């Protein structure tokens, strides 16, 4: 198992720790962090009685006192291997622990991490992380390591679902001209896709108007017809815009289902993922890196090229199933909702939000930090409830 990182540490109260004070169940506190040293009690060079004296308590006073009991750097490194959580540091975290205590306290389950409104994990110690886990060295570009690695699927999935956190975006490639394609600021999404969604909506409306007025449109005259609406009466345009708006709304709903389905059945194909380096690398690029580095600001939204590749089969399917006017209306709605999805996804990780989005933030971060096999909805929980995957 991977050593617990500060990014995935659960919250414990002093009362939670105090319940673990025996040789067979020994927890201690040091500098606000909680450690389960049960396996180390008998092996302690100074004798088990010294550890048991501080079982269930804060041992910072004796651990850090060179006169009373001197400890080497290796002793602190050994202690870090037993970290399981930390004490609360903010008012929101303290309040969350009070609420948990009122419900019976810490349950002992791995998914008991408390997600608060101001949740933000501590930075991962890059050097010790690699030393402990032997996965990816966060001090170096990640993709050359993935391409040359021979991780087992089990080890790879265990690691990518144990989040790490850096102050600055991780580097993927040594070469700047490759690196630039892996980084996408959130505002690129609305800048690129809202104009495209608007054009497609406009195209749908002119096609509906042409159908109603029985005026054929083609590549050479559709813009002229739309820019001179007087050739169609007002009633035709009113009906055309209504039809387009209905299709747009249908596209919004369809997107929410696509959002759920792609997240669940494409991004999280963990169970059927082939145990081959090439497929593990592809998984890492597609979604694994987001679970590995969930707070990386430049890898929270989809690069335009990747979204184009993923959306192309669906847009072609829409034009195969529906008349072009209907298909374009639906696509414009889906693209519009995609912009909402990706901007909201960024906000859920990095922004203080109104009440509904606070609830969705907690829900989505629980997907990252509690159970990645549940909670696939980002903008809504509806499809999670429909298909029984709610957190």
SS3 content of the chain, % helix, strand, coil (to 5): 60, 5, 35
List the binding residues for Zn(2+).
Answer: 263, 268, 287, 290-291, 345, 349, 364, 367-368
Identify the bridge partners of residue 27 per DSSP, sorted by sequence position: 36
Q: How far is it, in rounded angstroms, from Cα 128 to Cα 109? A: 26
List the binding residues.
Answer: 44, 71, 263, 268, 287, 290-291, 345, 349, 364, 367-368
377 within 8 A of 260, measured Cβ to Cβ: yes
Q: How far is it, in rounded angstroms, from Cα 51 to Cα 337? A: 56
Q: Is residue 148 packed enough to be buried (19+ CB in 10 Å), middle (13-18) or exposed (0-12)?
A: exposed
Q: How far is it, in rounded angstroms, from Cα 286 to Cα 279? A: 10
Domains and CATH numbers, the chain: 6-114 (3.10.120.10), 188-387 (no CATH)
Q: How many CB atoms lie within 10 A of CB 225?
A: 19
**Nearest 5°: CA angle at 385, between 383 and 387?**
70
Classify strands 10-11 and 83-86 as parallel, antiparallel or unpaired: parallel
Ramachandran assignment for 35, one of left (phi > 0), alpha (psi -120 to 50 degrees), beta (any other): beta
pLDDT of residue 321: 94
Q: Order of strands across the sheet with 83-86?
A: 10-11, 83-86, 33-36, 25-30, 21-22
Per-residue pLDDT of the chain (391 residues; tens, 9 = 90+): 344 444 446 788 888 888 888 888 888 888 888 888 888 777 666 566 777 888 888 887 766 665 555 566 666 777 788 888 888 887 777 877 777 777 666 655 444 566 666 667 778 888 888 888 889 999 999 999 999 988 888 889 988 988 888 888 899 999 988 888 889 999 999 999 999 999 999 999 988 888 877 666 555 555 555 555 555 566 777 888 999 999 999 999 999 999 999 999 999 988 899 999 899 999 999 899 999 998 898 888 899 988 999 899 999 999 999 999 999 999 999 999 999 999 999 888 877 667 777 788 888 888 888 788 889 999 889 999 999 999 8
pLDDT of residue 280: 92
Q: How far is it, in rounded angstroms, from Cα 74 to Cα 162? A: 24
Q: How far is it, in rounded angstroms, from Cα 247 to Cα 352? A: 33
| pTM recorded for the entire structure | 0.71
124 within 8 A of 96, measured Cβ to Cβ: no
List the binding residues for heme.
Answer: 44, 71
H helices of 263-390, in order, are: 277-283, 289-292, 304-321, 324-350, 355-369, 382-387
CA dihedral 338, 342, 345, 350 (to 10 degrees): -150
Phi, psi dihedral angles at 223 (to 5 degrees) = -70, -40
């Amino acid at each position: 198992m991977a050593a617990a990182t500060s990014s995935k540490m659960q919250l414990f109260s002093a009362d939670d720790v105090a319940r673990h004070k025996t040789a067979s169940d020994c927890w201690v506190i040091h500098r606000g962090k909680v450690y389960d040293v049960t396996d180390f009690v008998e092996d302690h060079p100074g004798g088990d009685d010294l550890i048991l004296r501080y079982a269930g308590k804060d041992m910072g006073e004796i651990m850090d006192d060179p006169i009373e009991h001197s400890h080497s750097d290796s002793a602190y490194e050994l202690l870090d291997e037993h970290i399981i959580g930390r004490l609360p540091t903010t008012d929101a975290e303290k309040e969350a622990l009070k609420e948990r205590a009122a419900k019976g306290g810490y349950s002992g389950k791995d998914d008991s991490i408390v997600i608060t409104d101001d949740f933000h994990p501590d930075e991962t110690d890059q050097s010790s992380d690699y030393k402990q886990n032997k996965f990816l060295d966060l001090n170096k570009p990640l993709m050359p390591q993935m391409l040359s690695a021979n991780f087992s699927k089990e080890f790879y999935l265990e690691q990518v679902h144990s989040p790490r956190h850096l102050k600055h975006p991780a580097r993927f490639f040594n070469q700047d001209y490759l690196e630039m394609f892996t980084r996408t600021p959130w505002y690129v999404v609305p800048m690129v896709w809202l104009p495209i969604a608007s054009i497609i909506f406009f195209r749908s409306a002119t096609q509906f108007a042409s159908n109603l007025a029985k005026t054929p449109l083609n590549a050479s005259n559709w813009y002229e017809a739309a820019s001179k609406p007087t050739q169609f009466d007002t009633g035709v345009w009113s009906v055309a815009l209504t039809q387009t708006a209905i299709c747009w709304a249908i596209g919004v709903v369809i997107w929410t289902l696509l959002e759920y389905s792609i997240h669940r059945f494409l991004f999280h194909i963990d169970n059927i993922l082939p145990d081959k380096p090439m497929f593990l690398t592809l998984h890492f690029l597609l979604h694994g890196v987001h679970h590995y580095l969930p707070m990386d600001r430049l890898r929270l939204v989809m690069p335009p090229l990747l979204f184009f590749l993923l959306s192309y089969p669906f847009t072609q399917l829409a034009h195969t199933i529906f008349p072009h006017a209907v298909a374009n209306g639906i696509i414009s709605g889906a693209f519009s909702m995609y912009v909402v999805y990706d901007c909201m996804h960024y906000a859920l990780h990095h922004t203080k939000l109104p009440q509904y989005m606070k609830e969705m933030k907690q829900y989505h971060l629980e997907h990252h930090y509690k159970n990645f096999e549940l909670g696939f909805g980002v903008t809504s929980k509806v499809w999670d409830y429909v298909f029984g995957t709610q957190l």
